[in-house]
Amino acid sequence: MTRLLATALSLTLACALWPSGSATLAAEGEALEAAAEFRSIANKEERSAALFVEAGRVLTHARCINCHPAGDEPLQGELGSRHEPPVRRGRSGLGVAGMECKTCHQKENFDPGRVPGAPAWHLAPRKMAWEGLSLPEICEQLKDPARNGNRTVADIVEHMAEDALVGWAWTPGAGREPAPGDQETFGGLIAAWAKTGAVCPK
C-alpha cells in the first residue's frame, strides 16, 4: 500500500469518527428581517446600509466565517476552532493531495459521522477571507472585483441567493447552529442592498 493511499484511508476514517466541534444540537436559526421591513427608511443610502447590516448577521456567522478563514486552515464549530483533523488549503482551496476536502465532505451532510457536506465543498480564496474583518470591511471586499473573484454586484446577489454551498449554512446538519433566517430572505436582503446602491455601513 502506498504512503499516499494509507494517508487517504486514515483521513477517511478520521472524518467519519471526528466530532463536528459542537456538542449542541442544531436549533432553528434566529429570524432574519425581510427586505420589506426596511422600506420605512426614507433615505436610500441609509436604507441600503441597514439592509447590509441585517444581511451581515449571516455573513459574520460561524457557518460563513469558517469557510472564509484568514489563514490556510478551515475553521469549524460555533467558536471558529481550527479544523480537526488538521488539513491545509492547498493551491485551489480544495485541500492538498491525499487530503482533499471531498475526501470527507460529500454532496450532503453525513450526520451519522457528523461530517458536513454540500456540492463543491471548498474554502474561499484567501483574498476573500472574512475572518477578523469588520462588517464594513467585508462589504467593501464584496464589491471589489480584485478581492471577490472578479464578480459584479449582480453576480454577488446571484451567488448569495442561489449557490448550494451558501445554502448549506441553513441546513448544516446535526450539532451545528444554522445561520439566521433562510437563504431566500438573505438573498432578498442582498438584492435589495444592491438595488439601493450597495452602500456599505460605516
Mean pLDDT of 169-176: 95
Q: Is 7 within the bounds of a domain? A: no
Q: Is 120 within the bounds of a domain? A: yes
Q: Is 6 within the bounds of a domain? A: no
Q: Is 24 within the bounds of a domain? A: no
- Tell me what pLDDT residue 15 has: 40
- Report the C-alpha gap between 58 and 189 in whole angstroms: 11
Q: What total number of domains does the chain contain?
A: 1
Q: How confident is the model at residue 97 (pLDDT cuts 50, 70, 90)?
A: confident
What is the model's pTM? 0.83
b/e burial code for range 63-83 (CB count within 10 A of at least 16 → b): bbbbbbbeeeebbbbbeeeeb
